[in-house]
A = this chain, B = another copy of it.
């Protein structure tokens, strides 16, 4: 059985992949609009973790629509949900896997997919959508991460990451300026996985 895990290089998507590793052939996949080479940022982490990795190109129009949403809302929630929803659909349409996985946690406010949207993708593409960390809070995730992954953490404008926010920020900087980024994105802590601390144990 094959699972494709949407991978940003952060601890949530990394832990999601590691959790499913005993059950599936796990492949990491990073979505990009090719404004920044986020595929390469993610691939380095994927190599450290020992997972196969691929890059999927999303339509540029999706990022342009997200930019409009972010500017109109002056907040990134709807924009990020818009991109994530398209990314899920795109990866489902690629076929060849049993399960498509993201790293959404219980306490994440964004991205957050409607159950009806997930079921629609599952039914139309004959695939399962899963969020292995959906039932874990941030502190519980950190508890599992800290014994298995070495992680670099910092404010969101300091950490190079392969998530949607990275390219959306880049586009906002192109079209507007740094002020606009600061006004749209609340500062928050991001993580990037550096390497595994040790091999998993099993009984």
Number of copies: 2
User: Nearest chain B CB to A139's CB is how many angstroms away?
Assistant: 6
B115 touches A128 (CB 8 A): no
Total interface residues on A, CB under 8 Å, equals: 35
> Is B122 in contact with A130, judged by CB distance below 8 angstroms?
no
Q: How far is the CA of A143 from the CA of B127 in the complex (A)?
A: 11
- Selected from B19, B106, B129, the residue in CB contact (under 8 A) with A115 is B106
The residues of B that contact A200 with a CB separation of less than 8 Å are 22, 202
Q: Chain B contacts of A95 at CB under 8 A?
A: none
C-alpha gap A106/B133 in the complex (Å): 12
Chain B: minimal CB distance from A164 (Å) = 19
Q: Are B143 and A99 in contact (CB under 8 A)?
A: yes
Min C-beta distance of A134 to chain B, whole Å: 3
User: Which single residue of chain B is at the shortest CB-CB distance from A51?
Assistant: B203
Residues on the B chain within 8 Å of A199, using CB: 202
Which listed residue (B1, B130, B136, B143) contacts A136, Cβ 8 A? B130
Is A174 among interface residues, defined by CB-CB distance under 8 A? no
Chain B residue at smallest Cβ distance from A105: B135
